[in-house]
Structure 1
Amino acid sequence: MSARQLPVVIVGAGPVGLAAAAHLIERGIEPLVFESGPTAGAAVRQWGHVRLFSTWSEVVDPIAEKLLAPTGWSVPDPKSCPTGSDWAEQYLRPLADVLGERVRYGRTVTGVSRRGRDRVVDAERTEQPFVVHARGERGPGEQFLARAVIDASGTWSAPGPAGGSGLPALGEEVASERITYRVPDLARPAVRARYAGKRTAVIGSGASAFTALAMLADLAQSREGRGTHAVWVLRRGMSDSTFGGGAADQLPARGALGLAAKAAVEGGHAEPVTGFRVEAVERAAEGHLILVGEDGRRVGPVDEAVVLTGFRPDVSFLEEVRLRLDERLQAPVDLAPLIDPNQHSCGTVYPHGHRELSHPEQGIFLVGMKSYGRAPTFLALTGYEQVRSIAAALAGDLASADRVELALPETGVCGGSGLFDGVTTDQDGTGCCATPDLGTSSTGRPEAAVTPDAAPFEEPSGGCCGS
C-alpha cells in the first residue's frame, strides 16, 4: 500500500479534530481519529457547565454541518450561545456518530515517528509513512501507519500552576486538596457547598477568571452563599483593558463576561490584588491557605484557591518527529509572532493554515488550541480554518489551501503587552495591534493582514469556543 492510500491519523475527537475528519472526507481522504476519552468532546464535557460566548453559528464547522445534513441534523438556534455540554451532546456526539468506526475511543496516542526512522535518521525519511502507537485501557497497545498526522489533542490536560515562575509554587502540590485548576461548577450542590460562605482566591486574568468571579459573585448574593468573597490575584496591574472590550466587543457575550467580572469587583464581591506573583503557598490554621508573593506580600488566609493561569501543550509523544516550535510559546514558529502575549493582549492574529502550521517533518500538524501552545486565546472558527487549509493541502489543492476564507470578530480592546505592565504602543505610536507596513513572512503571506481573535478555547472560559 502506498503512503497516499494510508489514512490520516487525527489525535483528539474534540471540535477541531472532528472538523478535520469531516474536511478530509470531503477531500476523499480517509481519517482515523483516536480519542483518549470515552466519548466525543470528552474535554469539552468537563467544562460543560460553562456557557460559550460564541453563538451556535460560530462553533459549527460548515463541512461538518454538510456531513450531518443527511441525518436531518440542523444547527440549534444560531443566535444562542451553547454551554459546553450543549456543544458536546448536540453537535460533537452526532458528528462522531456519523463518522462511525473512523473514531476510536479509549485510545491514548503514546508516540509518533517515521517507520524505521527515529528522530536522528535522515536517509529516505520523507519516503516512510508515519507510525502511530496507541494504547487502550487494556492490552499491550497497537501500531498504525498513516500518511499524515493531525494533532488536535488540545491543552486541557496540562493547566498552568499558581507559581509566577511557571513552576508550581512552593507548597502548592501539598495544598492540592484546596486548589482547583478549573472553573468550579457551582450548580452542583457539593461544589456549591465547598465555596458558599468561603473566601476564595481566584488567580488569573483571562475569561476563565472572569467566569469564576461572576459565578462567585452570584453565589454571594444567594441565601446560602452569604459571606462568599473572592480575592482576585492578578500578576499584572489593572487598566482600562483589564476587563476586555465591553460593548465594543464584536462578540457581545464575550464583552458581557468582562463586564460581569467588573461588576463583581465594583459590588464588593471580589477584591483585586495586583502585581502579585505567587512564590509559595503556606498552610494556616485549620488548613486555610496563605499565598506568598515574590515581593514578600501575603494574601490570605483563604479557604480555597481557583488557579486559572492558562494551559500548556503536551508534546512528549511527538519527541521522535521533527517539530519547529517557538521557544517561548511552544507554538509553530511562523504562527507564534502573531499570538505572542509579550507583544499584545488582544489576541490579534490573521487567519492561517497549512504553511504557518508546517514543521520540518512534512505531514505533521498541530492544530486547534494546541497550535497556540501557551498563548491564551483561540476561537473555534480559527481551528476550522486551520483544518480546512490542511485538508486541501493534503489533497494537493494548494490554491485553496493558501486562500484565506475567514473573517474573525474583533475584541474591542488592545492593551499592549499581555504579560507585564509597560509600553502599550509600538515605536511608531500606533498601538500594539495596529497594522504595520506590509512585509512578507517566511510563509510568503503578508505579515500585516491581522484580525483580532481573543477567546479562550480549551479552557472553560465563559465562552469561547471550545475544547
Structure 2
Amino acid sequence: MTFHITTQSTCCVPNTSCCDGYPVAIIGAGPIGLAAAAHLQQRNIPFFIVEKGDVADNIRSWQHVTLFSPWQYNIDHVANQLLTATGWQTPIQTNIPTGAQLIDAYLQPLAALFEKQIFTHHEVIGISKEQTDRMKSQNRAQQAFQLVVETKVGIKTMKARAIIDATGTWGHPSPAASNGLWLRGEQQAAPFMTYTIPTDEQLQLYASKHVAVIGSGHSAIQSLLQLVALKEHYPQTTITWIVRKARIEDAYGGGSNDELAARGELGLRIAYFVENGTIHVKTAFTIEQVRATSQRLTLKSQTETLAVDYAIVNTGSRPNFDFHRELRYEADAITEAVPALAPLIDPNEHSCGTVAAHGERELRQVEPNFYIVGAKSYGRAPTFLMATGYEQVRSVTAYLAGDIEAATQVELSLPETGVCHSGVGGCC
C-alpha cells in the first residue's frame, strides 16, 4: 500500500527542483518531533508524523522520573503559542515535572492539535529515495523520499519531500561491558539486568537484595536514590555503585554551582549517601565479563570479581541507524553524532550549557533535506537538553520554508554547569 498526502503547496525545499506536493515526514512523536510539527504548522508546510508506538512512548518508560529541568526549558515556544490559542494554560515555569506530567500537561495536548497528521503504531523499517538506492546519483535530488512502514495491518509505503528524524536514542542502551560490546554472557544474564531507571514495581524485586548500579550519569544517580529509598524500608538491601572513573567525586556534577538547581541537588544528595556508607562504591571498575548462574550475577574486571543479585545498567544510549541504510548520511566516527556537531558537543570538553547554538547548517546531511535532530543528533554524547532540540527544529523548518535568514540566525540560552548529563541518559 502506498500513501502520501497531496497538497497544493508552493513551498519547495530550497536548492532542489522537487515541488510535487509531498509533505515533510517527521519520525518520532516525542517532544522534538512534536515541536517540529508545531513549527511546520505555523509555516503552513504540510507534514505527517509516524511513531512506532503511542505518542511520547519513550517517555512513558521513565514517566515516574522527575526531570531536573523546569517547565521553562521543556516547552517549545511555537508549540506554546499554538496551545495557548486553544485556551491551554502554560504550567508554572519554575515547577519541575515528572515524565508523566510532561506527557499529560504538554505533549498529549500538543499531539491533539495534529491528530489527523499523526500515525501511531507505524514503525519505519527503511527509507530510500523513490526507485533509487544509495548507490545511484542521477536525478537523486528530484526523487521523493520513500518510507517503508510496518503497521498493525501490514507494510505501508509513505512518501515525503523531506525527512526529520526525531527518534532519539532511548530504547537502544549501551551494555555494561566496558568495551562497549554486547557479549554473550551479558545477553544471557538478561533476567538479572535492567537498563532503565527502575519503576516502583521493579524496585520490589530488589528488596533485601544486593544490587549494583553501573554508570556515572544522572540516570545512574536517579537509580541509586530510588534504591536508597527502598533500603529505608528494607535495611538488608545492599547497594553498590560501579563506575569506570578513578574518582567518584567526578560523578557528582556541578553541585551548588549548577544553574539547574534540581540537577545539582542530585549530586549533592548522592555524595551524602556515599559518604555515610549507604552506597558502596567501586571506582575504576571496568567490566570485562558478565555471567549469570541460576541465582546470581557475576561482574568481573581485570582485578576483581563482584557477585550481586541484580544489576541496573545506566551506561547511556546509542543511536539506531538501521533504517537509514539506503540514504546518504554520515555520523562522527567517535560520538556517532551528526559530524558537524561532534566537536561542539564532545562531553570531554562541553556541558549542556556550553554547547554552542547550532541549527540547519550543522545538521545538514549528505542527502539533501534529510535531518537527524534531537538526542539522536548527539549520537552517544550525553549533553543533550530538550531546549537544544527545539532550536534545532526551528532552524530546520525555517530552511525548509525557504526562510534562509531565520535558519542561519540560531540562538540558544541554556543553564550552565561544569558537568552535565541528560536526565535519563548519561554514560560512565
- Quickly name the TM-score band, shorter chain normalised: over 0.9
Does the C-alpha gap of structure 1 residues 45 and 217 become closer, same or farther in structure 2, counting only changes over 3 Å?
Answer: same
The aligned runs of 1:378-397 (5 Å cut-off) are 378-397=384-403
Q: Residue deviations 1:310-350, cap 9 Å, x none?
A: 00111110111111210111111100111223x33634411
Deviation at 1:264, TM superposition (A): 2.0
User: In structure 2, which of residues 173, 185, 197 is the aligned counterpart of residue 171 of structure 1?
Assistant: 185
SS of the residue 2:85 aligns to: helix
Find the aligned partners of 1:108 and 1:309 in 2 and give their Cα distance.
Answer: 26
Name the structure 2 match of 1:14. Answer: 30
Find the aligned partners of 1:193 and 1:124 in 2 and give their Cα distance.
Answer: 59
Find the aligned partners of 1:108 and 1:458 in 2 and give their Cα distance.
Answer: 23
Name the structure 2 match of 1:195. Answer: 206
User: In structure 1, which of residues 77, 96, 117 is the aligned counterpart of residue 92 of structure 2?
Assistant: 77
Question: Which amino acid in 2 is paired with 1:18?
Answer: L
Name the structure 1 match of 2:364. Answer: 358
The aligned runs of 1:32-431 (5 Å cut-off) are 32-37=48-53, 39-139=54-154, 141-186=155-200, 188=201, 191-222=202-233, 225-238=234-247, 240-283=249-292, 287-293=295-301, 295-299=302-306, 301-341=307-347, 343-344=348-349, 346-347=351-352, 348-411=354-417, 413=418
Find the aligned partners of 2:218 and 2:125 in 1 and give their Cα distance.
Answer: 32
Deviation at 1:360, TM superposition (A): 0.9
Structure 1 or 2: larger helix share? 2
What runs of 5+ residues in structure 1 fail to find an aligned partner? 415-453, 462-467
Root-mean-square deviation (CA, aligned residues, Å) is 1.7
Find the aligned partners of 1:182 and 1:242 in 2 and give their Cα distance.
Answer: 18
SS of the residue 1:71 aligns to: coil
SS of the residue 2:360 aligns to: coil
Deviation at 1:169, TM superposition (A): 4.0
SS of the residue 1:377 aligns to: coil
SS of the residue 1:335 aligns to: helix
Name the structure 1 match of 2:422. Answer: 456
Deviation at 1:459, TM superposition (A): 3.6
What runs of 5+ residues in structure 2 fail to find an aligned partner? 1-5, 7-17
Deviation at 1:230, TM superposition (A): 1.2
Whether contact under 8 Å (2:344, 2:350) holds in the other structure is no
Which 4+ stretches in 1 moved above 2 angstroms? 1-5, 239-242, 343-348, 457-461
Q: Residue deviations 1:241-285, cap 9 Å, x none?
A: 32000110000000001112212211212111111111112335x
Question: Which amino acid in 1 is paired with 2:327?
Answer: V
Does the C-alpha gap of structure 1 residues 336 and 460 become closer, same or farther in structure 2, counting only changes over 3 Å?
Answer: closer
Find the aligned partners of 1:240 and 1:202 in 2 and give their Cα distance.
Answer: 16
Name the structure 1 match of 2:40. Answer: 24
Name the structure 1 match of 2:13. Answer: none
Whether contact under 8 Å (2:84, 2:90) holds in the other structure is no
Find the aligned partners of 2:296 and 2:162 in 1 and give their Cα distance.
Answer: 50
Does the C-alpha gap of structure 1 residues 3 and 144 become closer, same or farther in structure 2, counting only changes over 3 Å?
Answer: farther
Find the aligned partners of 1:103 and 1:229 in 2 and give their Cα distance.
Answer: 45
Find the aligned partners of 2:29 and 2:242 in 1 and give their Cα distance.
Answer: 34
User: Among the aligned pairs, what percent are the same residue?
Assistant: 41
Find the aligned partners of 2:392 and 2:194 in 1 and give their Cα distance.
Answer: 32
Find the aligned partners of 2:223 and 2:375 in 1 and give their Cα distance.
Answer: 21
Whether contact under 8 Å (2:203, 2:227) holds in the other structure is no
Q: How many equivalent residue pairs?
A: 410
Deviation at 1:406, TM superposition (A): 1.6
Find the aligned partners of 1:354 and 1:458 in 2 and give their Cα distance.
Answer: 26
Does the C-alpha gap of structure 1 residues 151 and 137 become closer, same or farther in structure 2, counting only changes over 3 Å?
Answer: same
Find the aligned partners of 1:144 and 1:455 in 2 and give their Cα distance.
Answer: 36
Find the aligned partners of 2:350 and 2:397 in 1 and give their Cα distance.
Answer: 31
Whether contact under 8 Å (1:15, 1:380) holds in the other structure is yes
TM-score in terms of structure 1 length? 0.85
TM-score in terms of structure 2 length? 0.92
Find the aligned partners of 2:391 and 2:60 in 1 and give their Cα distance.
Answer: 23
Q: Residue deviations 1:405-435, cap 9 Å, x none?
A: 2211101x25xxxxxxxxxxxxxxxxxxxxx
Find the aligned partners of 2:338 and 2:139 in 1 and give their Cα distance.
Answer: 24
Find the aligned partners of 2:20 and 2:411 in 1 and give their Cα distance.
Answer: 26
Does the C-alpha gap of structure 1 residues 108 and 120 become closer, same or farther in structure 2, counting only changes over 3 Å?
Answer: same
Q: Residue deviations 1:14-36, cap 9 Å, x none?
A: 00000000001111111100011
